[in-house]
């Protein structure tokens, strides 16, 4: 015989646990992908707690976030800059993006090594004085966008540089 199954979803959140598990389990690799995994997981923590999604709360999710923070750190080189791949050449955009992700993690209450932040800011300060345009972000607008994002992240992290912002706006 036939069977009729009716399911009621008053919140519109049916299946969210599966989606969140996919986000956590997807095998990200480079710095952008790794950071892009950690940032939404910070929001996932708040969501899972507010919705009481037991499968993704507590130590399970915490472990994923902490592992992501640790992995971000492995993309940082001796210069303080972060590269697209572990052991690669550092670039301002990747450094700014990694620092932004680490900042959000710290704001969410996770431990982040302050030396990673300080060394990354130092790299951005030096790059800002003499931006590396040998590997343009597709064109000059991409380079300027990268520099603007780096200045934004520096300001968010308490290392604002009004003179550099004014100079960038004049370009």
Q: For residue range 14-45, list pLDDT tens digits in order.
A: 566 666 666 666 666 889 988 988 888 888 77
Write the CA distances from 107 to 1, 82, 112, 160, integer angstroms.
Answer: 56, 20, 10, 18
Q: CA-CA distances (angstroms) from residue 53 to 15, 45, 57?
A: 11, 10, 7
Stated pTM of the model: 0.79
Residue 58, pLDDT score: 59
Rounded to whole angstroms, how far apart are CA atoms 94 and 102? 12
Q: How far apart are CA 86 and CA 95, in angstroms?
A: 12
Give the separation between CA 101 and CA 170, rounded to whole angstroms.
29
pLDDT for res 79: 94
Q: What is the pLDDT of residues 34-77, one digit of tens each?
A: 898 888 888 877 776 666 665 565 566 788 888 889 999 999 99
């Amino acid at each position: 015989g036939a069977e009729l199954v009716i399911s009621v979803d008053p919140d519109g959140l049916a299946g969210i646990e599966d989606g969140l598990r996919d986000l956590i389990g997807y095998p990200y690799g480079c710095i952008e992908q790794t950071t892009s995994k950690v940032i939404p997981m910070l929001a996932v923590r708040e969501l899972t707690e507010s919705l009481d999604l037991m499968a993704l709360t507590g130590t399970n999710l915490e472990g994923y976030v902490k592992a992501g923070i640790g992995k971000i750190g492995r993309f940082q080189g001796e210069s303080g800059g972060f590269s697209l791949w572990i052991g690669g050449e550092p670039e301002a955009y990747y450094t700014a993006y990694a620092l932004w992700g680490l900042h959000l993690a710290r704001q969410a209450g996770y431990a982040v090594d302050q030396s990673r932040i300080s060394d990354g800011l130092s790299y951005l300060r030096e790059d800002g004085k003499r931006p590396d345009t040998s590997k343009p972000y597709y064109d000059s607008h991409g380079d300027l966008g990268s520099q603007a994002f780096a200045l934004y992240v520096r300001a968010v992290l308490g290392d604002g540089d009004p003179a550099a912002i004014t100079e960038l706006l004049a370009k």
